[in-house]
Each structure stands twice: as structure tokens, then as C-alpha cells.
Amino acid sequence: MIDVRFQADPHVVPACPVCGTSDTGWYAVATDRLFGIAAGRYGLYRCGRCGCIFQHPLPDQAAIESFYPRRYWWAADGQSGSAAALGRLERVYREFVCRDHVRFLRHCAHGSGRGRSLLDIGCGNGTFLHLARQRGFIPHGMDVSEHAVAAARSQYDLPVQCGGIGSGLWQAHAFDFVTMFHVLEHVPAPRQALEYAHGLLKPDGTLILQVPNTASLQARAFGPCWYGLDVPRHLINFTPRALGLLLDQAGFTWQIVRRFSLRDNPASIASSLAVRLDPIGRRGRSKAGNAIVEGALELIYLGLFLLALPPAWAESVVGRGGTIWALARRRAVQTLS
């Protein structure tokens, strides 16, 4: 277990990692509620200008890597009996909710006249890419986890590679679409991550982003216990204003899309209420338990998820949903005539 002891210092005023202002203030001390593998306490600050919430001090790369258990990335392979049945049900659920992401991708591609080459940065086990391929997109993926890459290859036979942001994995390619679903909050240098995505797009290419929304109603309701903060894995958490500033800096024109995320918004409420029932957390905290018990816990969590659907939808309707969707395009280069 990594042990990061944080001692609050009222004299420390860290600069905002998004807008650079020193107008930041203490927000909370938080712990690893999801997995419990990162011992100690982590300090969170909020920016008074752009509203982002960030860890200070930021952990180093070795610590960041230790925050993720091997079973953080879902895979159904290697299971048998009742566990295999649960794995199949989870796969059905994951594919069902990920279809919402694919529908948005298809909406962005409709009538554009562009090609359909797609790179998903942080592709995980490849569920999204698998569904996008079924809808005519040419999938490519990358992830820092060897386990996730192996799962994407074995389960869906996808062309994915192991590597992180900044690597030269796809430098010989240019894509019509690059997607980053819940990736940006995990990296210590988000502007550089966006610049990396910018360099992988065709001149008329589109970047689709999704991150937790710290300006959401659920974030306000749950405070430091909000699932969307996921301390210590989420290093910087964004408001629409903060994300827009970063996209400007990285050379994009952009728009924030007010839409509901079936995969993420109700799940964030359910897991904030009962983090010990969260499927990712249960999988990462221990080895698989009794299949009957696991199945019962899955059903209880599903009930919470369904109960969370109406409030999650309502907060999205008023523009304060639990996730931010951004649609960005490379800014046209101005030339002098």
C-alpha cells in the first residue's frame, strides 16, 4: 500500500493547474474510498477562478501507477461457472450503456462527410471501440494498462496498443475522431494531454471528451464524498469553464454539449451513496467472492442505479449534470495574405 500523508498548511497557496491563478483555497482532505489501497490523506484545493478541484501536492508517477489495482479494468475471460454467468451479464450491461456513447459519436459524424477512423485514448477493455466498429467506424485504441489491452484484444480482437499519453504509438496516423472518455482527470498535465490528442487528429478532425463535472448538482450534494472525485486517482477535476480554458490553450474550438450520460451520471450517484457496492470497487478490493453473494450485491447496486436515474436525468435537464461532454475541433490556422 502506498502511504501519502498530507498535512494541511494554511500558508500554502498552490497555483491552479488549469488557469494558473493563485486564487485557490482549501477544499477538503480525502481518502481512497473506492479501493482503500492508497493509505493516508490527500489534500484537495478549489480554484476561485475556473472552479476546478485538484490535488496538492500532485503525486509522482510511481505513486499514480500504484493507485490502480490490476482488476481495475474489467475482463470476463478466465471465469467459469456462476462467475462466468455474472461476467456475461456484466458484459451485456456494459455494452448496453456504452451504446449511448456510440450514438453520440454517430451524431457527431452524421453529415460531416469525413472519414470514420477512430482512436480511443484510454480504451480500457475495448467495449466502446467494439460497438463503434459495428456502426462502421475504423477502431484503434491505446491504454497504459497491459491487462486492459490484453482484454480488448482477446474479447473483441481490436487493434489496440499499450502506452500512455505522449507516446509515439500512433504518430504515423491521423484520425477523423479521437475520444477521451474519463481520461483527462487522471493525468497530471491535462493541457499537454489535449495537445497530444490535437496532434493525432486530421486538420478537420474532431475530439470528443467526457469528464466528471464538479459544477454538477450531485457534486455539490455529496461534497468530498462525491464519487466523481475518486481520490487519489482523479488528480484534477473540471468545471465546464476549466475544461474550456484548457481546450482554448490546446488549439481547439469547442462547445460544451449538455447531454445525459446513461453510463456515468446515475452510477456516480449510486456509488456516492454506497461506494462499497460499486462493482469496480468490489472487483479491485479483493478476489472474486461467493458467486451468490456477488450476484446479490450486483442486484442491490442495480436497484440503486435505477433509483438514481430520475435525479441524474433531472440535473442534466437543468444543465448541471454529473458529467461534462465537450465536442472540439482543431482550430483553423490563420494565414497572412
Condensed to tens digits (0 to 9), the pLDDT of residues 211-252 reads 999 999 999 999 999 999 999 999 999 999 999 999 999 999
What is residue 79's predicted lDDT score, i.e. its pLDDT?
Answer: 52
Q: What is the pTM of this model?
A: 0.89
CB proximity list for 51: less than 8 A, separation 6 or greater = 214, 215, 239, 241, 242
* Contact predicate 76/90, CB 8 Å: yes
Q: Using CA atoms, how far apart are residues 218 and 237, in angstroms rounded to an integer?
A: 14
If we measure between CA atoms, which residue out of 138, 140, 126, 118 comes closest to residue 91? Answer: 126
> Residue for cell digits 430520475?
310
What is residue 160's predicted lDDT score, i.e. its pLDDT?
Answer: 95
If we measure between CA atoms, which residue out of 169, 78, 162, 67 comes closest to residue 123? Answer: 162
What is the sign, positive or negative, of the torsion defined by CA atoms of 40, 35, 14, 63?
Answer: positive
Q: Which segments within the chain are labelled E, that is strand?
A: 2-4, 24-30, 38-40, 42-47, 53-55, 117-121, 138-143, 160-162, 175-181, 201-212, 236-237, 252-257, 323-330
What residues of the chain score a pLDDT lower than 70?
1-11, 73-90, 112-113, 287-289, 332-337
What is residue 115's predicted lDDT score, i.e. its pLDDT?
Answer: 83
What is residue 289's predicted lDDT score, i.e. its pLDDT?
Answer: 64
φ and ψ at 120, to 5 degrees?
-105, 110
Q: How far is CA 310 from the centre of its chain?
A: 22
Q: Using CA atoms, how far apart are residues 241 and 232, in angstroms rounded to an integer?
A: 23
What is residue 336's predicted lDDT score, i.e. its pLDDT?
Answer: 44
Question: What's the farthest any 2 CA atoms get from each other in the chain?
Answer: 71
Q: Which domains does the chain have, with CATH numbers?
A: 72-330 (3.40.50.150)
What is residue 123's predicted lDDT score, i.e. its pLDDT?
Answer: 94
Q: Using CA atoms, how far apart are residues 98 and 116, in angstroms rounded to an integer?
A: 18
* Contact predicate 143/159, CB 8 Å: no
pLDDT digits (tens, 9 = 90+) for 266-284: 999 999 999 999 988 988 8
Measured N-to-C along each axis, helices 81-109 and 291-317 cross at an angle, to the nearest 10 degrees, of 20
What is residue 219's predicted lDDT score, i.e. its pLDDT?
Answer: 97
Three cell numbers, residue 206? 474532431
Three cell numbers, residue 92? 451485456
Three cell numbers, residue 117? 477512423
How are strands ordered across the β-sheet holding 53-55?
24-30, 42-47, 53-55, 236-237
